[in-house]
Structure 1
Amino acid sequence: MEEKTKSNLIIIGGAEDKEGNKEILKYVCSTIDKSRDVLLIATVATEQPKEAGEKYKRLFHGLGVAEVRILDVSHRYQAEEIENVNLVKEASLIFFTGGDQLRITSILGGTALHDALKNKYEEGCTFVGTSAGASVMSDTMIVKGLDEESPKKCTLKMAPGLGLLKGVIVDQHFAQRGRIGRLLVGIAENPGVLGIGIDEDTAIIVNEQGSFKVIGSGAVYVIDGRTITYSNVSEQYQEELLCMFNIKMHVLKNKNIFDLNSKEPMEEEAEA
């Protein structure tokens, strides 16, 4: 049996390399036994599930995964069907594609499939999300906000996510879509949680000890609002620019580590 890399949760900022070295997708495949484990592609977020499912199926087959299946659930009634629940129960890795993160929670929430996913994660199954599939991994997710604009009060729409990663808000396509402003609004409204912005072709690998490692070609931005001394965020005067003092931000690159417990970054893993 081939040696597997231990990872619990892999969160990708979207647009991961699918043509060149495929570093992130190769890492995803390394977390399972490619000869026998089931890799399940969940296309719940997208309105083109067949196209997205087949695209990733070809990619994972090309990377040596023998058993790739597709979870195509576009309506809530399908999330109660036993054959879909069984697909989750048989999976060793579940990969959520991009699309609309609110589709994931609104279709799955409170269903038998949602319960099966939660149980599977608790059992140690590796969960992977890219783009919308990344945002949904936290307990609070960004649904809508302004890109490439200065942060304004009350311009952010948030909703509960799947809750696999606690105490954070994840945003994706981060530098490419100019999303620093909307994540700052999220942290102003929720200063007790960390904001994690992930660039395209970049991922964080979260382990059981509560730290994550960065892989890929871009950066990861961690915004810590605990040090905020002043903020004008409120529902009054909603069109005003957001103002905050003394907010902390870390910028991490490939191989950097961040400890979610101590909320401190490290350059890279210590040598054994």
Structure 2
Amino acid sequence: MSQSQGQLVIIGGAEDKEGDCKVLREFVRRAGGVNARIVVMTVATEMPREVGEDYIRVFERLGAENVRIVDTVHRDDASSPTYIEAVNKATGVFFTGGDQARITSILKDTELDAAIHQRYQEGIVIGGTSAGAAMMPDVMIVEGDSETNPRVNVVEMGPGMGFLPGIVVDQHFLQRGRLGRLLSALSQQPAVLGFGIDENTAVVVQDNKFEVVGEGAVTVVDVADIIHTNIDDILKDEAIAICGAKLHVLPDGYKFDLAARKPIVEADAPREVATTNA
């Protein structure tokens, strides 16, 4: 796990923008509250103006007065001194939804990418929803089938932005039935932990721990100690067997230790964390 001084707010998509806005409120609070300086990265979406202005409206309603859009349509835009200066002054950088492949193809290994990572090391908050969540690991899910059993050809993987190495992230998790997709991704990667994040729900990562915020849950799949898999013996369209994987289902307020790979159950927790072996 990274020992970065920054924080991540990784959102499973479809977060509330009209009511209490609990998830986005948490992002603004951690980015500095009324003193936050937020950059909205619209690189993933094909409607940057509409989507960007939507987030400006929400963030300003929550009290952040300094919010601006950085719209990198082309890879050359990621060398813009104006955009790099905006990131260097930001206390929070937020990636919208859309297509995660656009994020990596336009931003990865650019000057702007380096500036965002540098500011993350210096302590700012990086947030992302949907595609902006999928891109967080060093290897990300590019696309794949939902509501299916694990198979090699279910999911396409590709380089992510590397804010959360060693993890695989999937979003819209419960709503789109993506457990099979997440297991397929984990079976093909060196990562041993997978996060399945429900809509209007986030994991807030700091100091090798995360906390769940929102109305849904986060499903953590741990394949570090599996006792059997047939991944090396099957053809591309055949079903994957995974024996001994561990599953944690964590609702709002629950925490997880990434280094120890186990939930943090407080003494006054209302109930046992749901944990099963599959």
TM-score by length of 2: 0.91
Superposed displacement of residue 29, structure 1: 1.3
**Aligned AA (1:107):** I
Structure 1 match to 2:54? 55
Give the corresponding residue for 2:138.
139
Q: Which runs of 5+ in 2 are unaligned?
A: 270-278
The answer for the alignment partner of 1:33 in structure 2 is: 32
Per the alignment, residue 10 of structure 1 pairs with 9
- Summarize the Cα distance change of 1:268–1:171 in structure 2 as closer, same or farther, 3 Å threshold: farther
Q: Deviations over 1:134-170 (max 9, x none)?
A: 1111111100111111222232211111111121001
Distance 1:118 1:77, change over 3 A: same
Distance in 1, Cα, partners of 2:73 & 2:51: 13
Q: Is the 8 A contact 1:7 1:205 kept in 2?
A: no
**Aligned position for 2:110:** 111
CA positional deviation for 1:7: 6.7
Match of 2:242 in 1: 244
**Letter paired with 1:264:** K
SS class of match (2:152): coil
Per-residue deviation, 1:242: 1.4
Give, in angstroms, the shift of residue 132 of structure 1: 0.5
2:99 is matched by which residue type in structure 1?
D
Q: CA deviation at 1:190?
A: 2.6
Taking the aligned partners of 1:99 and 1:268, their CA distance within structure 2 comes to 37
In 2, are the aligned partners of 1:9 and 1:206 still within 8 Å (CA)?
yes
Distance 1:87 1:253 in 2: 35
Q: Distance in 2 between matches of 1:244 and 1:206?
A: 27
Residue in structure 2 matched with residue 182 of structure 1 by the alignment:
181
Task: Say if 1:156 and 1:21 are closer, same or farther in 2 by CA, change over 3 A.
Answer: same
Q: RMSD in angstroms over aligned alpha carbons?
A: 1.8
Provide the secondary structure at the position in 1 that maps to 2:141. strand
Q: Deviations over 1:192-248 (max 9, x none)?
A: 42011000011011112x010001010101111112121122484221111111111
Among 200, 208, 211, which residue is 2:209 paired with? 211
Give the partner amino acid of 1:215: V
Q: 1:232 to 1:16 in 2, by over 3 A?
A: same
> Cα deviation per residue 1:42-67 (whole Å; 9 max; x = unaligned)?
11111111111000001111111111
| Structure 1 spans left out of the alignment, 5+ residues | 1-5
1:41·1:56 contact (CA, 8 Å) conserved in 2?
yes
**Stretch moving more, 22-31 or 225-234:** 225-234
Distance, in Å, in 1 between the alignment partners of 2:117 and 2:128 is 15
CA distance in 2, matches of 1:106, 1:232: 33
Give the Cα separation in 1 of the matches to 2:267 and 2:26.
17
Does the Cα contact within 8 Å between 1:153 and 1:235 map onto a contact in 2?
Answer: no
Counterpart of 1:151 in structure 2 is 150
**Residue aligned with 1:79, SS:** helix
- In structure 2, the partner of 1:230 is 228
Whole-angstrom CA distance in 2 between matches of 1:138 and 1:268? 28
Q: How many residues in Structure 1 have an aligned counterpart in Structure 2?
A: 265
Query: Which whole-Å deviations, capped at 9, do the CAs of 1:161-191 have from their partners, x for residues lacking one?
Result: 1111121001100010111001001121235
Q: In 2 relative to 1, CA 191–83 (structure 1 residues): closer, same or farther, beyond 3 Å?
A: closer
The alignment partner of 1:44 has SS state of: coil
- 2:276 aligned partner: none
Tell me which residue corresponds to 2:272: none
Q: Is the 8 A contact 2:15 2:23 kept in 1?
A: yes
Residues 111 and 21 from structure 1, CA distance in 2 versus in 1: closer, same or farther, beyond 3 angstroms? same
> Which whole-Å deviations, capped at 9, do the CAs of 1:104-134 have from their partners, x for residues lacking one?
1110122111111111111111100111101
Could you tell me how far 1:80 is from its partner in structure 2?
A: 1.0
Per-residue Cα deviation, 1:50-100 (whole angstroms, up to 9, x for no partner): 111000001111111111110111110101111111111111100100011
Q: Is the 8 A contact 2:166 2:190 kept in 1?
A: no
Q: Secondary structure at the match of 1:87?
A: helix
